[in-house]
Amino acid sequence: MNINDKYSKIVTDETLRETAYHGNEEYPFQYYEEDIWQFDFHCIDWHWHSEIEFVFVKKGTAQFLVGGKRYVLTSGMGIFINTKAIHRFEASESVIIPNIVFLPDLLSSKESLIYRKYIWPILNSNIDCFVLTPNVNWQNTVLNLLLSVFSAQKTTNSHEIKTVELLLKLWTVLYENVEIKEDSSVSEVSARTTAQLQIMMQYIHKNYSDHISLDDIAKTVSISKSSALNIFNKYLNTSPINYLVNYRLKRAARLLTNTDNSIFLIAQATGFENVGYFCRKFKKLFQLTPSEYRKKAGFPYSNVGKYLCKKTEK
């Protein structure tokens, strides 16, 4: 697939589960070659999926946020992202990332010994992801096999069976070298915390235009404000209120390019009571005033509210 010829944003449901299906029921595998910079807001935003994902950095440097950790990957490095791990990719330049996304039962039936003995232990481990670097021999082997998988997608003869053969080799190297810790208590805690995060984010997405406090967000999952802060900081590297403000700003950005509403009305519609505060926050996030953003997008009403923002941003 050519770079971003399918879409330039991740579409998710209210739990942040990606709605796109990768491949089909007969062959649940998809290869992509994407540029993070071309996605909305220069990031592949928070999402998760039941599929396994392998990403290779072909060009550039990007930040990969998976679970509660942040990793910086440069050209030649890769990353494995486990099933259902919440993740986000960020870039400050063009970063080309060929990647594959596939269901684990592509490798073997869930009822098989192969699946139970070699696949399930990694899926059910405490591993959200791990970085692959060419400096470690076995990881370099995985990276080379990954590149071979990419190459196989460009052939027309028997590429499906070649792909599965290479993936099984890759998985064998993984299984033989990764330290697997099957800790059901850790998995249960992680699953519960992730679910709490998703519920709180869902509440923000539904109610962002209303007045929302930290207490309101925490109450959706019956935890304390400090616990809500800790969950957001651990998994998203931000506070619930900062996440709310940034979500409002992104919604406002869409309204600026999709409607002819004034900046004042857009600020109000996205939960900002003070238009001056809205303009300052918008410029900090997008490096443009709302009117400049609208003009850059080629919207015909680019002068709507321009004077208002100039006044409030001084």
Helices then strands, each counted (H, E), the chain? 12, 9
pLDDT at 310 over 70: no
pLDDT band at 193 (very low <50, low <70, confident <90, very high): confident
Q: Where are the domains of the chain?
A: 29-177, 184-241, 243-313
- pLDDT, one tens digit per residue, over 246-266 is 999 999 998 998 899 999 999
Quick one: CA torsion of 260, 266, 269, 275, rounded to 10 degrees?
Answer: -160
End-to-end CA distance of the chain: 46
Q: Which residues contact 189 (CB under 8 A, 6 or more apart)?
A: none
pLDDT confidence of residue 9:
74
pLDDT confidence of residue 305:
47
pLDDT confidence of residue 42:
86
pLDDT confidence of residue 8:
65
Considering the chain, what percentage of its residues have pLDDT values greater than 90? 65
pLDDT confidence of residue 307:
43
pLDDT band at 197 (very low <50, low <70, confident <90, very high): confident
pLDDT confidence of residue 226:
95
Residue of higher predicted confidence among 126 and 99: 99
Fold exhibited by the domain 243-313: Arc Repressor Mutant, subunit A (1.10.10)
Give whichever of 15-24, 61-70, 181-190, 238-247 has the largest mean pLDDT.
238-247
pLDDT confidence of residue 95:
97
pLDDT confidence of residue 5:
45
Rounded Cα distance between 60 and 58, Å, is: 7
CATH number for 29-177 (one of 2.60.120.590, 2.60.120.280, 3.30.479.10, 2.40.128.90): it is 2.60.120.280
Point out which residues pair with 56 in neighbouring strands. 78
Q: Identify the H or E element spanning 231.
A: helix 225-236
Rounded Cα distance between 144 and 170, Å, is: 9
pLDDT confidence of residue 306:
47
pLDDT confidence of residue 314:
44
pLDDT confidence of residue 13:
78
- Flag the least confident range among 54-58, 234-238, 242-246: 234-238
Identity (one letter) of the amino acid at 72? V
Residue of higher predicted confidence among 188 and 96: 96
Asked whether 125 and 81 are in contact (CB, 8 A), the reply is no
The two tokens of residue 59 are 């060009």
Residue reference for tokens 């709507």? 304
Angle between helices 275-286 and 306-313 (to 10 degrees): 90
Q: Which residues contact 59 (CB under 8 A, 6 or more apart)?
A: 75, 94, 95, 96
pLDDT confidence of residue 300:
56
Rounded Cα distance between 310 and 290, Å, is: 10
Asked whether 90 and 35 are in contact (CB, 8 A), the reply is no
Rounded Cα distance between 252 and 40, Å, is: 14
Rounded Cα distance between 215 and 281, Å, is: 22
pLDDT at 39 over 50: yes
* Mean per-residue pLDDT over the chain, rounded: 88
pLDDT confidence of residue 189:
63
For the residues 23-38, what does the mean pLDDT come to? 95
The two tokens of residue 276 are 């001056």
- pLDDT, one tens digit per residue, over 147-175 is 999 999 998 788 999 999 999 999 999 99
Residue of higher predicted confidence among 44 and 195: 44
